Amino acid sequence: MLTSTQVFRAGLRSGVRLQSSGATAARATSSPAGSLGYSFELTDQQKEFQQLARKFAREEMIPVAAAYDKSGEYPFPIIKKAWELGLVNGHIPQEYGGMGLPIFDSCLITEELAYACTGMQTAIEANSLGQMPVILAGNEAQKKKYLGRLTEEPLMCAYCVTEPGAGSDVAGIKTRAVKTGDEYVVNGQKMWITNGGKANWYFLLARTDSDPKCPASRAFTGFIVDADTPGIQIGRKEMNMGQRCSDTRGITFEDVRIPKENVLIAEGAGFKIAMGAFDNTRPPVAAGATGLAQRALDEATNYALERKTFGRTIAEHQAVSFLLAEMAMKVELARMAYQRSAWERDQGRKNTYYASIAKAFAGDIANQVASDAVQIFGGNGFNSEYPVEKLMRDAKIYQIYEGTAQIQRLIIAREHLGKFKK
């Protein structure tokens, strides 16, 4: 019992994810956070948040995840419950009814929810992305109105930037917003909008300067658009490879009128706002990918300890144990990466470099770990009765949305070389 406090905290911190007990080796955690300058210790409150999210994920989300994946039905009952518990809209400041959580705490919650089902978690996360431009750039009236709506009722919002012809190349979007009197008239087509069919309002990026030579930093404007504005046509729900319960749609804007009060900051400021959101939302996305990877690792490990072949459990065969070891390496590193990127942001620093590293790495390893998990399950892994094939299908999008794996590398290279050039 001498080291039970230390061991208990170590156990809690590592999650004690495997349901079996067995004394975890006592780790040296006795130094209080901060005395060595760099700490991996969670505060008691962070641990409680994490426990709440974990409990919700295990008890409410996991039991229904497979069914939602099969039907593709939007998991609104889950989202509503999560909203009631305060697990949604963590980024919204307290004066607008939100939790005002640091990005780090949001990431802890996100990882736990993603462990259960990234489809549901993405639907929740899309709220964070959609609301981030308003949090960062909205004026008091806009924040009160649109953020307040999300905290008063379980409403969704969406980030409406990507188009059929422009994803990575945001500056290439063609949706036009023309100023007419006190309004802007918007025409264009958006695609792959998460929560597109469920959102109460959108953050929309449209081109306001028709001069093709106008630089991106001045050519675009960010708007808040109510989803019931006449002229908005919501496309069909897209059938995707994974995260199937998440609602992804094309949206057409036909002469949609937006009052000038709904412009964020000013005409021409849109590009920076849209991009600035990512420094805050990439860490949680990386956390989501990590949660998926952790789930894949746990499922594969439990299976490996039960399945027998050639007279012993497959975990005792080195080929499998080495696979598991590499999966564990990747999960631990992805976690550290997203935690660092979130922490940097919470310290008030620009975290672009770390956020991109975290997102790129976590997205890549989520795919590798999920695929390895299927491999460990063997034939069973390929089958929909077992949970890992869903993980593999769900993982792919992490290399695509919120900035593709390739775009992340562009960013990292730019940031990295930029440091050297100074």
Instruction: Specify whether 402 is catalytic.
Output: yes
Single out the segment in contact with another protein by CB under 8 A; choices: 10-18, 297-305, 336-344, 362-370.
10-18
Sequence-separated (6 or more) residues with CB below 8 Å from residue 32 = 41
Q: d(Cα 338, Cα 107) in Å, to the nearest integer?
A: 8
> Between residues 76 and 396, which has the closer beta carbon with respect to another protein?
76
**CB of 125: closest distance to another protein in angstroms?**
16
Give the tokens for residue 284: 């949680």
Binding flag, residue 152, another protein (CB under 8 A): no
**CB of 28: closest distance to another protein in angstroms?**
14
Binding flag, residue 3, another protein (CB under 8 A): yes
Give the tokens for residue 15: 């999650």
**CB of 117: closest distance to another protein in angstroms?**
18
Beta strands in 285-346 (DSSP E): 308-309, 312-313
> Between residues 21 and 318, which has the closer beta carbon with respect to another protein?
21
Single out the segment in contact with another protein by CB under 8 A; choices: 7-15, 254-262, 312-320, 393-401.
7-15
Q: How far apart are the first and last CA of the chain?
A: 54
Catalytic residue among 111, 112, 125, 402: 402
Binding flag, residue 10, another protein (CB under 8 A): yes
Binding flag, residue 180, another protein (CB under 8 A): no
* Neighbouring C-alpha atoms within 13 Å toward the C-beta of 136: 20
Give the tokens for residue 107: 């990431």
**CB of 54: closest distance to another protein in angstroms?**
10
Helical residues (DSSP H) of 347-399, grouped into ranges:
352-377, 388-395
Interacting residue with another protein among 26, 214, 333, 400 (CB under 8 A)? 26
> Between residues 127 and 142, which has the closer beta carbon with respect to another protein?
127
Interacting residue with another protein among 22, 32, 37, 212 (CB under 8 A)? 22
Q: d(Cα 11, Cα 1) in Å, to the nearest integer?
A: 14
Interacting residue with another protein among 65, 79, 87, 293 (CB under 8 A)? 87
Query: What secondary structure does DSSP assign to 71-129, as a single string?
Result: H----HHHHHHHHHTT-S-TTS-GGGTS----HHHHHHHHHHHHHH-HHHHHHHHHHHH
Length of the chain: 422
Residue 223, strand partner residues: 204, 263
Q: In 3-state terms, what secondary structure has residue 248?
A: strand
Binding flag, residue 11, another protein (CB under 8 A): yes
Alpha-carbon Rg for the chain in angstroms: 22
CA dihedral of 68, 69, 70, 76, whole degrees rounded to 10: 20
**CB of 96: closest distance to another protein in angstroms?**
14
64: nearest Cα among 112, 107, 119, 108: 119
Binding flag, residue 86, another protein (CB under 8 A): yes
**CB of 43: closest distance to another protein in angstroms?**
10
Single out the segment in contact with another protein by CB under 8 A; choices: 19-27, 168-176, 220-228, 311-319.
19-27
Q: d(Cα 393, Cα 140) in Å, to the nearest integer?
A: 41
> Between residues 100 and 165, which has the closer beta carbon with respect to another protein?
100
**CB of 306: closest distance to another protein in angstroms?**
13
Conformation bin of residue 44: beta by default, left when phi > 0, alpha when psi is -120 to 50: alpha
**CB of 83: closest distance to another protein in angstroms?**
10
Contact string 30-69 vs another protein (x = CB under 8 A):
--------------xx--xx--x--xx-------------
Conformation bin of residue 310: beta by default, left when phi > 0, alpha when psi is -120 to 50: left
Binding flag, residue 7, another protein (CB under 8 A): yes
Single out the segment in contact with another protein by CB under 8 A; choices: 6-14, 201-209, 224-232, 299-307.
6-14
CB 346 within 8 Å of CB 91: no
- Three-state SS letters, 212-240: CCCCHHHHEEEEEEECCCCCEEEEEECCC
Binding flag, residue 336, another protein (CB under 8 A): no
Query: Binding to another protein (CB under 8 A): which residues in 95-114?
Result: 99
Single out the segment in contact with another protein by CB under 8 A; choices: 80-88, 178-186, 265-273, 346-354.
80-88
Q: Which residues are catalytic?
A: 402
Q: What does the binding site for another protein look like in residue numbers (CB under 8 A)?
A: 1, 3-5, 7-8, 10-12, 16, 19-26, 44-45, 48-49, 52, 55-56, 84-87, 90, 99
